[in-house]
Amino acid sequence: MTWAKERGCPAEVFEPPSGPPFPPMESFDLLIVLGGPMSVFEEDKHPWLIAEKAFLREAIRSGKRVLGICLGAQMLAEVLGGRVYRNGEKEIGWHPVRRTEARHPLLAGLPEMFWSFHWHGDTFELPEGAVHLASSGACRNQAFAFGDRLLGLQFHLETTPACMTAMTEAWADELVPGRWIESAAAMLAKTARCADSAACLRKILDRMLAAHAGERAAG
């Protein structure tokens, strides 16, 4: 929401677990699908996932620009034909993300390696036709693009210090010793990294906005 306000773009937040209605397709140009503690494949426990996936498919068919983050990236991968499954290990805390050799305009300007916040136990297969854009030590598929309108990020560039605090309190039971799991104290000692993450996210969103503006100008 901060980025949208800075750029003068109207924005609304919808919470699928609260139920419909989803916004009409003509009411938006960019859809950002965020994360959550559930798994994409837990439709029996969370029936609203079915409706959200249907809405996402419609958005893709309608030519909308979509950014999926964590659960949102997994959902985007699934609706495009990729399989979502448990990762070998949970990845929680601040871990480096490394870009692949593949170049894509939406990630132009991002460093070849950057630190990002992570909190996930699942991962996804790359959909056929997707471009693999980033990896981490714990999880191979950290970012992908599908064409020039769809981008999935497994990691959390949007994380703020307040968000980190809330997550460590709400899901403290997940912070068990592990190769890729940091303690709450270790995570919260690195809140200064949130500013760099936010700058990376702004670059991505600015490029999505510029592409949309250029398309409208071209008629």
Q: Which residues are catalytic?
A: 70, 156, 158
Report yes or no: 49 and 89 within 8 Å, Cβ to Cβ: no
Q: How far apart are CA 117 and CA 91, in angstroms?
A: 9
Q: HEC states along the chain? A: CHHHHHHCCCCCCCCHHHCCCCCCHHHCCEEEECCCCCCCCCCCCCCHHHHHHHHHHHHHHCCCEEEEECHHHHHHHHHCCCCEEEEEEEEEEEEEEEECCCCCHHHCCCCCEEEEEEEEEEEECCCCCCEEEEECCCCCCCEEEECCCEEEECCECCCCHHHHHHHHHHCHHHCCCECCECCHHHHHCCCCHHHHHHHHHHHHHHHHHHHHHHHHHCC
Which amino acid is present at 206?
Answer: D
Distances (CA, A) of 50 to 44, 74, 81, 95, 195: 9, 14, 15, 31, 35
